[in-house]
Amino acid sequence: MPPTPSSSKAKRPLPSPTSNGHRRQHMEVRKKLPVYQFRKEICELVYQNEVVLVVAETGSGKSTQIPQFIYENGKLKNFHKNISSANRKLRLAHTICVTQPRRVAAITVAKRVAEEMGCETGTLVGHRVRFDDSTDIQGRNTSRIIYATDGMLLREATADPLLTRYQCIVLDESHERSLQTDILFGVVKRAMKARTRSKYIDEKNSCSVSEEFEKDKLIQMRMRKKAKELELVPLHVIVMSATLEVETFQSYFPQSKYIKIPGRQFPVQTLFTPDYQEDYIDSALSTALQIHKYEEEGDILIFLPGSEEIENLAGLLRKYLSEESELGRSISSDEKSGEHEIKKRDMVQSIKGMGTDLHSGHGSIVNGVLVCVLYAALPPEQQIFAFQSKPQGCSRKIILSTNIAETSVTLDGIRFVIDSGKCKERDYNSATGMESLTVADVSKAQARQRSGRAGRVSAGMTFRLYPEIAFDTLDETTAPEISRVNLAQVVLQLKGMGIHDPRSFDFLTTPSQQAMLKAFKQLYALEALDDTMELTTYGKEMAKLPLDPTFAHLLLQSPKYECTAEMLTAISMLSAENIFYRPGGSGDSEDSSGLSAKAAAAHKRFTSYEGDIPTMLTVYNCWRKEAIYISSAKGGKKERKRRRMQMEEASRKNSKSSKILHGDWCTRNFISGRALARAHDVRQQLSEICSRETSRNGLGFDVNVSCGDDIVKLLKGASAGLFLQAASRVSNSVEINKSIRKDMQKGITNTGRGRYKTKIGGAEVNLHPTCSLFGRNPPPKCVVYTELLVTKRTYIRGATQIKEEWLAEVAPKFFR
């Protein structure tokens, strides 16, 4: 076993020479936080009780300070006094884990806590998110405070149901009730019961479960026996939120204690629009510009549903502010009449809908304003602009964010909030098996949280882009995600943790029986479950992969068709969002139509006749051959400097060749650089899991097996992995409507829209316009797809053509 901090002082995280001064500054800031006044009370409650419920406003410091209080207090170490020396050497139950529903929050909060504790991220404090583990860089189990996403802790529980590494688990942002959070509650409660030294178990519930599910009762008895052998100390749980439904959680944890911490809240004036706003992006643009012109100092936070809307509005703001700056220099002091205002309004309309560049503008100041974007898929180096103080020459920040800024992260300096009233919400119809991601109205609780962001530094204002009567019709709270999604991955996770019948699992909110039955059917069709609903060997392999069961099945089928290398690439590319950058716009502007035409021409060289999976492979392979890219790695300033020097050296070596830098290649080919880099990192992580030996919880694959130029093997592999998502073409699949006629008049012939019927369910669907098969003449007779999207119409994405007779060959039990 590698040396631990107790056996090797050299391994301890040492502060840098200048960190003492910084720590003193951080301590002064910490003392001013509302939660600091309750540190002794919180530590005492955690020491005396196994479950503590903490309700505190966003910005009170609960996420950063409470884990530090518990670590610095050291009272929980008293539980280790009576442990035998043999088990003490294992150093179990010494770590604090803080879960976050989003990777952005886990990374940023871990970085802040590391700064406050005077150490580098990955030493005493680290983060663990999907495909990015920054912990224990000094040796095994050396990180003592770990910020992890809910999904990462769930994956850890699959191999270690007792969560032996942790003595305290902090479930943060519990009010969001995400799918992974709800499952994590049951997993943590199960481990807590096995490790408890008191009669915490709900006897009534336990008896009813034991009568019906004898196998699960036996598993729980084995867990308690194992915990006793290891002399595991009690697992302490802290449930934290800004707007916690106390009654729900108190009934789930009957012996829990509750503490409420007041936040720093100034009065916030709320303004509604007189009418409904059909275009909330245009309304948000106008509101932000009016605030900037007429209101006093203070940053602006705009809530929008997704990254696409955010990037579009960010481009519009930057262009308008740039035009305003040029216009301001060109007019004289006496030209401040109403005619000038009309010109400015006309200019806003003229730039509305114009294409925006995803690669430009981040961190740049336009006319004294810094426009920042913030959403979960954004790389950390671009997220940082939203959290940093305003640089010199900047008078105001405008931050455009998804609902991540409601409670997950704290943004300082916000005085004005613009609330579109919209968010993206997953929904699943268990009857049809269709899952959709749609733009939905927020709940009243979400709207209040958004308004609260304006009252942290001083009195603020909230501009809701909907009338007051619309607010009165909103739901009080958001429905738990577990009641709105496909449960196949949930069932697979629970079975992987050793839960015989997931129906016996102690859910915070019990899902519907119909949704649970649908999940069992899907996993049975994928051969993850046998006739007795037991997890098969194949199902155990699927559970090892951090992927949706469908993608996991697709990857596991690849060795049969000798296309493992290709499927690793395809799945990684499909896991990243929006690989292709397609400039927006109506096409009325010369710049807009010209940019769109350039993008279409650039993308054409990657487009495969067979569909999206081969197209993704072409993009990735061309990028690897033609671009110079140095993958990011863990480390501080020295590591970043080393990578920069490595990049410069690679550029010099390839100066005589055709290779160009990663950013230049992506700009030239209208490819999202951050999405491509993320796909590369995902592929590396998946390759590591697949190539790892089975004895080390891997799959033992040869990840270099390739089908080469044999496209039939690749397409058969796709049909074997996606046979549940197959669709056949319906006759007369080309529709002629006004929009198509308009395109045809402009000479755009790529207007064919394939209409298909799914093999399972018989739903009528259409090829999505972004699909590489869209407009192919004739459309393929049969396709498999990776995603079903429901908007005004039902679309399929990630479509790849196959031969219909292959379905009976690759899935004979399903297609006869």
DSSP 716-732: HHHHHHSGGGEEEEPSS
- At residue 696, does pLDDT exceed 60? yes
Average pLDDT over residues 308-333: 75
CA distance 370 to 315: 12
Residues 451-505 have pLDDT tens digits of 988 887 788 999 999 999 999 999 888 888 888 888 898 899 888 888 888 888 8
SS3 301: strand
Which range among 181-190, 641-650, 697-706, 750-759 shows the weakest confidence by mean pLDDT? 641-650
pLDDT at 739: 46
Q: What is the pLDDT of residues 343-352, one digit of tens each?
A: 444 333 322 3
Nearest to 615 by CA among 573, 578, 575: 573
Of the pLDDT bands very low, low, confident and very high (cuts 50, 70, 90), residue 209 is very low
342 is a domain residue: yes
Which of these ranges, 319-333, 372-386, 460-474, 509-523, has the smallest mean pLDDT? 319-333
CATH code of residue 448: 3.40.50.300
Average per-residue pLDDT in the chain? Answer: 81
Residue 356 has pLDDT above 50, yes or no: no
Note the pLDDT of residue 412: 81
**Whole-number pLDDT of residue 632:** 54
Taking a C-beta distance cutoff of 8 angstroms, is the pair 512, 484 a contact?
A: no
DSSP 211: H
More confident residue, 93 or 357: 93
In a domain, 42, yes or no: no
H/E element, 56:
strand 51-56
User: Does a cis peptide bond (omega within 30 degrees of 0) precede residue 262?
Assistant: no
**Beta strand 627-628 with 660-661: parallel, antiparallel or unpaired?**
parallel
Q: What is the rounded average pLDDT of the residues 397-412?
A: 83
Per-residue pLDDT, 198: 57
Q: Is the pLDDT of residue 192 over 90?
A: yes
Prediction pTM value? 0.75
In the numeric block, the tokens 């308690």 are attached to 224
Amino acid residing at 102 = R
Query: Given 227, 261, 295, which residue is the final one in a domain?
Result: 261
Q: Judge whether residue 110 has pLDDT over 70.
A: yes
Tell me whether residue 13 is in a domain: no
The residue ranking higher by pLDDT, 738 or 561, is 561
* pLDDT score recorded for residue 132: 80
The encoded tokens of residue 797 equal: 């994405």
Alpha-carbon span 570 to 23, nearest angstrom: 46
**Band of the pLDDT at 133, cuts 50, 70, 90?**
confident
Structure confidence by residue, pLDDT tens digits, 642-656: 555 655 665 565 555
Same domain, 550 and 584: yes
381: confidence class by pLDDT, cuts 50, 70, 90 = low
User: pLDDT of 552-599, one tens digit each?
Assistant: 999 999 999 999 999 999 999 988 877 888 765 433 444 445 777 888
pLDDT in tens, 221-267: 888 999 999 999 999 999 998 776 788 888 899 889 999 988 766 88
Q: What is the pLDDT at residue 442?
A: 92
Domain count, the chain: 5
pLDDT at 401 over 70: yes
Residues 516-532 have pLDDT tens digits of 888 999 999 999 999 88
The predicted model gives 68-90 an average pLDDT of 86
Q: Which pLDDT does position 246 carry in this prediction?
A: 81
SS3 51: strand
* Whether residues 576 and 427 fall in one domain: no
CA distance 128 to 136: 10
Is the CA virtual torsion 214, 215, 216, 221 positive or negative?
A: positive
Q: Greater confidence, 377 or 810?
A: 810
> Helix, strand, or coil here: 462?
strand
| Least confident segment among 283-292, 637-646, 781-790 | 637-646
Taking residues 38-51, report their average pLDDT: 93
Instruction: Give the least confident one: 27-31, 312-316, 558-562, 629-633.
Output: 629-633
CB–CB of 806/610 below 8 Å?
Answer: no
- What CA–CA distance (Å, rounded) separates 793 from 739? 15
Domain that holds residue 154: 48-261
Residue 35 included in any domain: no
Q: Does residue 19 register a pLDDT over 80?
A: no
% of the chain residues with pLDDT over 90: 38
Strands 365-366 vs 369-374: parallel, antiparallel or unpaired: antiparallel
State whether 549 and 539 are in the same domain.
Answer: no
Whether 518 is covered by a domain: the verdict is yes
Check whether residue 778 and residue 796 sit in a common domain. Answer: yes
| Res 327: pLDDT | 62
CA distances from 287 to 271, 368, 524, 561 (A): 11, 18, 52, 56
- Reference 58, options 152, 173, 143; nearest CA is 173
Mean pLDDT of 84-96: 85
Q: Is residue 607 in some structural domain? A: yes
The verdict on 733 and 695 lying in the same domain is: no
Beta carbons within 10 angstroms of residue 154's beta carbon: 23
- The yes-or-no verdict on residue 89 having pLDDT over 70 is yes
Tokens of 732: 């007369």
pLDDT band at 435 (very low <50, low <70, confident <90, very high): low
Q: For residue 78, name the pLDDT band (cuts at 50, 70, 90).
A: confident
pLDDT at 541: 92
pLDDT at 753 exceeding the cut of 70: no
pLDDT value for 645: 63
Question: Do residues 677 and 732 both lie within one domain?
Answer: no
Q: Is residue 16 part of a domain?
A: no
Residue 711 inside a domain? The answer is no
Are residues 247 and 371 part of one domain? Answer: no
Which pLDDT score, from 0 to 100, does residue 86 have?
79
The pLDDT of residue 767: 92
Query: Are 254 and 388 within one domain?
Result: no
Taking residue 374's Cβ as centre, other Cβ atoms within 10 Å add up to 23
Alpha carbon distance 799, 613 (integer Å): 7
Residue 626 confidence (pLDDT): 92
Percent of the chain with pLDDT over 70: 80
Q: Which residues, at least 6 apart from 692, have a Cβ–Cβ distance to it below 8 Å? A: 698, 699, 700
| Chain CA centroid to CA 13, Å | 30
- Name the band, by pLDDT with cuts 50, 70 and 90, for residue 633: very low
pLDDT band at 168; cut points 50, 70, 90: very high
Q: What is the DSSP-derived secondary structure letter of residue 202?
A: -
Query: Which region holds residue 675: left if phi is over 0, alpha if psi is between -120 and 50, else beta?
Result: alpha
Q: Which of 544, 570, 597 is the C-terminal boundary of a domain?
A: 544
pLDDT value, residue 204: 40
User: Given 701, 736, 769, which residue is the final one in a domain?
Assistant: 701
Same domain, yes or no: 74 and 196: yes
Residues 345 and 418 in one domain: yes
- Going by DSSP bridges, is the β-strand pair 145-149/95-100 parallel, antiparallel, or unpaired? parallel
* Domain co-membership, 84 together with 187: yes
Q: State whether 166 and 251 are in the same domain.
A: yes
Which burial class, exposed, middle or buried, applies to 79 when counting CB atoms under 10 A from its CB (0-12, 13-18, 19+)? middle
Q: Find the mean pLDDT for residues 276-297.
A: 92
Q: How far apart are CA 448 and CA 175, in angstroms?
A: 13
What confidence score (pLDDT) does residue 131 get? 73
Per-residue pLDDT, averaged over 385-394, amounts to 83
Q: Apex CA 41: angle with CA 38 and CA 46, to 5°?
A: 120
For residue 498, give the CATH number of its domain.
Answer: 1.10.10.2130
